[in-house]
Structure formats: C-alpha cells, structure tokens
Chains A and B, each alone.
Chain A
Amino acid sequence: MKMFEYMGKELFAKFGIPTPKGRMVTNPEDAAKVAAEIGGPCVVKSQVLSGKRGKAGGIKFPKTPEEAKAAAKEVLAMTIQGLPVECVLVEEMLKIDKELYISITVDGSAKQAVMIASAYGGMEIEAQPEEYIIKKHIDPELGMHPFFAREVIRRMGVAINSPHGKEMVKIIQSLYKICKEKDAELVEINPLVFSDDRVIAADAKVTIDDDAMFRMVDLPFVDDKSPAERAAADLGLSFVELDGDIAVMANGAGITMGTLDTLQAFGGTARNFLDAGGGTGREQTAKALKILLGLKPKSLFINIFGGITRCDDVANAFKDINTELGGFPVPVVIRLVGTNQEAGREILKSIGIEAYDFMQDAAKRVIELTK
C-alpha cells in the first residue's frame, strides 16, 4: 500500500525524522490559514499517488496566504494521471543548500533490506550514474547500528562530525526502524535537504507491505486500486486491468501470465490479468466472472488446471451466471482439466459450452471468436 506524502511525513515525524513545517488541508481557506501560520513563502503540493506531480503543475510556490489560497484552489481542482487531487500539503519553502537521496527497500535477490543513498538527490535515483549510487545491505540478524549509518554517510562525502552528519546518523536509523515496525517495503526520502544546519525530509515515499496489513492497525488506509481491482481484492483475487479485448481468468499467477503470453503469441490481446488462485469455489468463481463481464470484453477465456480447484465448482459457477443473465453476452472459451474434470464438462455441456484439453487450442479458438 502506497502512502500519501503527508502520511509518510506524519510517520517520519513520529520516528523523529525532521520534516518541513506545515500540514495537509482539503480546502483553500485552510491552506491560507496554514500559510499564515508559516508566515513566509510556501509550497502547495498536490497529494496523489503518482510521480510527476511537478511536471503536471501540481506543485505551486505561493508567497502570501492569499496566493496560497488561490494555489490550493487551483490544485484541488486538478486531475493528475487520472487521479483527482483531494488534498494538498502546505509547507514552508525550504532554503536548499544541498539535495541528497536516501532510501531503504527490499532486495529480493539478496533476501535482505538494502540502503540506497546518493549525495546527489532531487532527481530519480535511476537517472543517476552508477558511480554516484551507494548500496549497502542490512544484515537482518545484525540489524541497524550507528556504525552502519556512519559508513553510508562517509561514502556520501558528508563530514561525520558536522551537524548534518550527526543528524543523518539518527535519520538513517529511524528509516530502518520504520521499515521494521511498520512493515514498510520502501521508505524513500528524495530529496533529503541541507538547509543551513538543518537536515530535512522534503519528500516522503512510503510503501507498506500489503501482506503485513493485518498487523498494521494504527496506519491510515489508502485505496490505490481501480473499482474492478478493489472488487477482486475483496474476493482475495489478484487482478490487473489491461487494455485488450479478451477477459482472462486462470488459477495461479504463473499460469495466468503464461495464458496472457499465449494469447499474445497467437495475435490476441488480454483485457486483464486475473489470478483466481487455488481452491476458489463456486460462489467466488461466479463473482470473479461478474467482475470480468463488468469490463465489457469482446470474449471470455478461462484456463483452469485444477489441483485444489475443482472443475465442477468452476462449471457450476458458469451455470449460475448463465441462468442469472439468461446466457453469456460474449463468446466463452474454457480450457478445463484436473480434479473432477468429467463432472465439470458435463455441466458445461448442459449450457452449451465446450471445454478444451489444451491451453494452446483454447487460446486459438477464443481469438477466432473475438475477431
């Protein structure tokens, strides 16, 4: 789950990482109020879960409370990359002496968290030349210690005994603390700003591990999914919207990808990725089919290799939808093998749907029917 910048900064503040003065507001009047409290030039930042806010005009630099009000009004009316701006962050304008980059994320190959740092912040880290990027893995059994932070800071070329160096030792340790205590798979400060003697997190990007949400009771919830993606997630299914013609459901992430690849190889395009997982029952499958039909595809392609999943459950779900809707509005092709295969096929036959043995044959057929 991605967090809004203002939420990330609230989290930073709780863990002792300095952030700019200011707060989140949802209307122009409050923006003026915050600007007056700050008492000088401000930044008004749109709060959307997308990069490129600056390029889209979603960041303004008002000098007075009146200008802040106008800026907030303008930004709150914007839509950035399809996302409506529902709130803005009003903050003090920082005097920037230097911009740096620090983050901690999970390196799956190393099976460890990794600290990434650069003495040159502000731009995207991927845009940096390799020699400016510092990477240091964090041994999970050792954990984070001041020496680790000092070594990163030394490599960044910051004097360890300077006010900046001392503050950064604390910030780096706090970052790892956030990762561990809040199950954050990414915590990024870009830029980390030197402003006179202060070190301040001018931005905050925090992503919480979706799998750890069950133990994150005190975190605000951010819905970063489309309506169809939300409906699928509520069913416990993994779903991604794409822009092709054929709605797809398979059971398992790998086979679903393999199904999409096979469709593409034969000249078809998928409307979505839907991994129904293992052991999905009759009712769940019917609900998943409704999500697919809601996408208004040109056809429906189901690829089930049943291990835990029972073929008769899948077939019965089709029967239920067929009865409810009085037939399917688009052509349906099913590849159905595995547990209770024969029973499943009998049921499908009763509603006039033929099941295929092999994915490749079924894929070719659905593409024919889509054209």
Chain B
Amino acid sequence: MAIIIDENTNVLVQGITGRQATFHTKQMLAYGTKIVAGCTPGKGGQVVEGVPVYNTVREACEKHRIDAAVIFVPAPGTKDAALENLEAGVKVVVIVTEGVPVFDEIDIVAYAKRKGAYVLGPNTFGIVSGGKCKMGIPPNQYFIKGDIGVVARSGTLTYEIVGNLTANGLGQSTVVGMGGDRAVGLTFVDVLKMFEKDDQTKAVVLIGEIGGNNEEIAAEYIKEMTKPVVAFIAGKSAPAGKRMGHAGAIIERGKGTYQGKVDALTAAGAKVAPLPFEVPALIKEALGRK
C-alpha cells in the first residue's frame, strides 16, 4: 500500500519553470513519479521535461486529475501557491520552500485543515513511497521499496538514515518529511497512525530533533501502537538557547530537551538509537531479522 502517495498519484509541480524545480522534475520523473502538469503563472503553454505547463492550478485541474502538488516557488509567493492548490481541491500539498514566514505557515495549515488536505512542510525534503513515487528533492538512489515507514523533520539526516537502512537491505514503504519549520502541516502522530494502519509497513523509524514537544506527544501514541518504533533524536550535544538551523530546533526554557524526548519515547516502548548509523540494527532486532 504505502501512505499518502503511491504509483497512481497524479502530481502537479508548482513553479515548474524555475531552475531547481526543473532539475527536480527530471529527477522525480526518473524515479517513476507520474507528473502530469506544471504550473507557473505567465508560462502557460510551455513544456518542461515533457510536462505541460499551465497558468493556474484550476486550469491544470480542468485538463488532468491532480492528486498532489509539490511547491518550489520562492518564500514570498509560497502562501499564495499553497492556497491556490488547496482551493482547487488538491488533497496533498508538499511545500519544499525554505524561509516561509511563520504566520503564512499558520494560515496555510489552517486552510488545509478546513479542506481536509495534507500539507507536508514548509521546509520539507518531501515524501517518497519506495519504488513508486517521489515528491520533493531527495537523491533517488537511496530510496528503495520495502516495509519500513520513516517519518522525519529533517532532510539530509533522513538521507543519512535511509541510506543506512538501504545499505542493510531494509527498504521503505513511505518516507515522510514533515518539514523543519515550527508550523508544519502534519505531526508525528498523524503519520504514525497512517503507518499503523498500512499493510505494507512492518516497523517505523521516527527521526526527531530537539525543540518543541512533537516527539513527546508522539510517545503517547506509540504506547498504543502494535508495530515497533525505532527513533533517533538529533541535537543531544546542542546547548540551550541556540537555534540549530531549523526554526523549531531550539531548547527554550528547559523544554524540548534531548533527554526529555528520549525518556518519553523509551517509556512508550520505542527503541532510541544513540547515533544515526545504529538505527538499522535496532530495526532488525525489533523485527527479528538478521
């Protein structure tokens, strides 16, 4: 099965004529993603990597069934682009853009909730259903089909860990990037619930980091899960009060600490890997594989 996207998902690329978007459209197509349309206002009628470009999302929706959109437009235009897709009825919106103002993020997430749509990001690497569909920017070669679900806040750290999983023969059902910003569309719990229901997924890797209380809330749900969860939390060595790159990755007022998250997850029955490369062994142990 996989979650959120699969081999039948029709994808629109918003901002497709931009340099990064064009590059990644090519990469996504190479992965097997069904990109049926692109959208850049004023560039309608062009063709990018064989994909027709439209002026508005509504126009694209008149010609194609659009299940999901991936947004590459610069931060000042991201809110407009995201709302345009949600208003047109697109049910999965993946926002790769970094540096989106937090009040714009709040508005996007609130509108998505009203429309019953999923938003991944802003500031996400995207989502990959192993061997079926990739939306976003991760390097293709490390993401293979399998039965491990992965949910993460951070991009390259996910590549690191997924790379380790793949090198150990552990493919992935779906790898979900929630986004590194403070106000993003999905929570760990939202995604864990989907993995718990998904037939293809046999175990879950949760990649968290210091700051906020998402991991602690996730721990409450992990108690109820039947599938094993292995976690890695980045930022053990981070000092309090210093924002480590991501807007959310900061220990403030003694909250969101590494130890607090590890304790909560461990008490919930998850195994926590002290270092990124130790994840595959814990997954194999949990699944009784060699």
- Contact check, B209 vs A111: say whether CB atoms are below 8 A apart: no
Given contacts A256-B245, A257-B238, A257-B244, contact A141 B114 (CB under 8 A): yes
Residues of B within 8 A of A307 (CB): 137-139, 155-156, 159
Interface centre among A139, A308, A359 (most CB of B within 10 A): A308
- Contact check, A360 vs B103: say whether CB atoms are below 8 A apart: no
Given contacts A109-B214, A141-B114, A359-B277, contact A211 B101 (CB under 8 A): yes
Which residue in chain A gives the minimum CB-CB distance to B183?
Answer: A111
Residues of A within 8 A of B232 (CB): 258
Give Cα A307 to B253, complex, Å.
35
Q: Scan B96-117; emit 1 where CB is below 8 A from any A CB, else 0.
A: 0001111101110111001000
Q: 11 A–B contact pairs at CB < 8 A?
A: A109-B187, A113-B103, A141-B110, A212-B101, A240-B244, A242-B242, A254-B246, A255-B154, A260-B235, A278-B156, A359-B276
Residues of A within 8 A of B152 (CB): 254
Residues of A within 8 A of B197 (CB): none
- Contact check, A211 vs B99: say whether CB atoms are below 8 A apart: yes
Near A by CB (< 8 A), chain B positions 220-240 give 232, 234-239
Residues of B within 8 A of A238 (CB): 244-245
Q: Classify the interface of chain B: helix, strand, loop or mixed.
A: loop
**A358 at the B interface (CB under 8 A):** yes
Give Cα A242 to B240, complex, Å.
11
Please count how many residues in chain A sit with their CB below 8 Å of the partner chain's CB atoms. 52
Which residue in chain A gives the minimum CB-CB distance to B212?
Answer: A108
Residues of A within 8 A of B157 (CB): 252, 254-255, 257-258
State which of A84-92, A146-154, A263-271, A314-322 sits at the interface with chain B.
A263-271
- Contact check, B154 vs A253: say whether CB atoms are below 8 A apart: yes
- Contact check, A279 vs B20: say whether CB atoms are below 8 A apart: yes
Given contacts A106-B182, A209-B101, A254-B154, contact A305 B106 (CB under 8 A): no
- Contact check, A214 vs B207: say whether CB atoms are below 8 A apart: no
Contact with A263, one of B100, B217, B235, B237 (Cβ below 8 angstroms): B237
Top 4 A-B pairs ranked by shortest CB distance? Answer: A254-B154, A253-B245, A252-B156, A254-B157
Given contacts A141-B110, A183-B101, A359-B277, contact A258 B160 (CB under 8 A): yes
Residues of A within 8 A of B210 (CB): 257
**A6 at the B interface (CB under 8 A):** no
Give Cα A251 to B154, complex, Å.
11
Give Cα A108 to B211, complex, Å.
10
Which residue in chain A gives the minimum CB-CB distance to B105?
Answer: A111
Give Cα A270 to B242, complex, Å.
14
Give Cα A240 to B239, complex, Å.
10
A214 to chain B, nearest CB (A): 6
- Contact check, B275 vs A180: say whether CB atoms are below 8 A apart: no
**B158 at the A interface (CB under 8 A):** yes
Give Cα A141 to B110, complex, Å.
7
Which residue in chain B gives the minimum CB-CB distance to A183?
Answer: B101
Please count how many residues in chain B sit with their CB below 8 Å of the partner chain's CB atoms. 62
Which residue in chain B gives the minimum CB-CB distance to A253?
Answer: B245
**A223 at the B interface (CB under 8 A):** no
Give Cα A306 to B137, complex, Å.
11
Which residue in chain B gives the minimum CB-CB distance to A108?
Answer: B182
Residues of A within 8 A of B180 (CB): 253-254
- Contact check, B75 vs A258: say whether CB atoms are below 8 A apart: no
Which residue in chain B gives the minimum CB-CB distance to A308?
Answer: B137
Give Cα A155 to B160, complex, Å.
49
- Contact check, B154 vs A261: say whether CB atoms are below 8 A apart: no
B244 to chain A, nearest CB (A): 5
- Contact check, A273 vs B182: say whether CB atoms are below 8 A apart: no
A52 to chain B, nearest CB (A): 13
**B261 at the A interface (CB under 8 A):** no
- Contact check, B76 vs A252: say whether CB atoms are below 8 A apart: no
Residues of A within 8 A of B130 (CB): none
Near B by CB (< 8 A), chain A positions 97-116 give 106, 108-109, 111-113
Give Cα A141 to B99, complex, Å.
22
- Contact check, B103 vs A212: say whether CB atoms are below 8 A apart: yes
B109 to chain A, nearest CB (A): 5
Give Cα A265 to B175, complex, Å.
27
Given contacts A141-B110, A339-B139, A358-B277, contact A109 B217 (CB under 8 A): yes
Give Cα A141 to B106, complex, Å.
10
**A250 at the B interface (CB under 8 A):** yes
**A275 at the B interface (CB under 8 A):** yes
12 other contacts beyond A253-B246, A257-B234, with CB at 8 A cut-off?
Answer: A140-B103, A141-B111, A211-B75, A214-B75, A252-B157, A254-B156, A254-B158, A257-B249, A258-B275, A264-B237, A305-B156, A308-B20
Contact with B103, one of A180, A253, A308 (Cβ below 8 angstroms): A180
A130 to chain B, nearest CB (A): 13
Residues of A within 8 A of B214 (CB): 108-109
Contact with A254, one of B75, B155, B163, B253 (Cβ below 8 angstroms): B155
- Contact check, B274 vs A265: say whether CB atoms are below 8 A apart: yes
Which residue in chain B gives the minimum CB-CB distance to A185?
Answer: B102
**B213 at the A interface (CB under 8 A):** yes
Give Cα A277 to B68, complex, Å.
26
Which residue in chain A gives the minimum CB-CB distance to B239?
Answer: A242
